[in-house]
Amino acid sequence: MSYLISRQIFTISGQVQCKKCERQDTLHFDLRQRFFKVATYVAENKINMCQRAPRSWMNPTLPRCRLCEEDNSVKPVISNKKRSINWLFLFLGEMLGCCTLDQLKYFCKHTNNHRTGAKDRVLFLTYIGICKQVDPSGPFEI
Domain limits, the chain: 2-134
Quick one: pLDDT at residue 141?
A: 85
User: Does 113 score more than 90 pLDDT?
Assistant: no
pLDDT above 80: residue 85: yes
pLDDT at 1: 87
pLDDT at 71: 97
- What pLDDT is recorded for position 112? 85
Q: Which amino acid is at 18?
A: C
pLDDT at residue 29 in the model: 98
pTM summary value: 0.94
- Letter string b/e over residues 110-135, b meaning 16 or more CB atoms within 10 A of that residue's CB: ebebebebebbbbbbbbbbbbbbebb
Q: Residue 23: what are its φ and ψ, rounded to 5°?
A: -85, 150
Q: What is the pLDDT of residue 5?
A: 93
Q: Within 13 Å, how many C-alpha atoms sit on residue 22's CB side?
A: 0
Other CB atoms within a 10 A radius of the CB of residue 65 amount to 21
